[in-house]
Structure 1
């Protein structure tokens, strides 16, 4: 796993109902961009040192923006389907 300051750390916990946590990467632990990462968690605004494990991935700002757009599009389509179920038959 490699990152640079400004990237995002996304941590998803498999088998739980918890939403993925997001953290902005402020600093990386080595010149090649490998962990540990100093991050600021979006949900708590706390900063900490993280050694990412299973369920963690690094995204650039562009990748995160594209992911959010896909999720929003999926939610919009689902809302339309629920509001107008006859439109699918």
Structure 2
């Protein structure tokens, strides 16, 4: 899993009926986009995490899809 600052992590509920929640990556602490990440949840709470298998990254539109390439704004 690789992320950039500004990407959104979506966490699915672990039990039936549990709501999905989101967190925005505010800092990438690992190398080359790898975890851990410092994230900010919807309620403003910040923490460092290593995302698990129930997590999906929504890439910020300003980022390239491949790592190791310069980030450019999409037109």
Q: Structures share a fold, TM > 0.5?
A: yes
Equivalent residues in 2 for 1:52-63, closer than 5 Å: 52-62=51-61
Aligned partner of 1:32 in structure 2 is 32
Unaligned runs of 5+ in 1: 63-89
Q: Secondary structure at the match of 1:54?
A: coil
Relative to total residues, which structure has the larger helix share, 1 or 2? 1
Relative to total residues, which structure has the larger strand share, 1 or 2? 2
Post-superposition Cα deviations, 1:68-88, rounded to whole Å, max 9, x if no partner, equal: xxxxxxxxxxxxxxxxxxxxx
The CA deviation at 1:29 is 1.6
Over alpha carbons, which structure has the higher Rg? Answer: 1
Corresponding position: 1:11 with 2:43: no
Cα distance in 2 for partners of 1:45, 1:14 equals 22
- Matched positions, count: 61
The CA deviation at 1:14 is 4.0
Q: Which has the higher contact order (CA 8 A, sep 6+)?
A: 2
Post-superposition Cα deviations, 1:28-52, rounded to whole Å, max 9, x if no partner, equal: 122310101100001x210000110
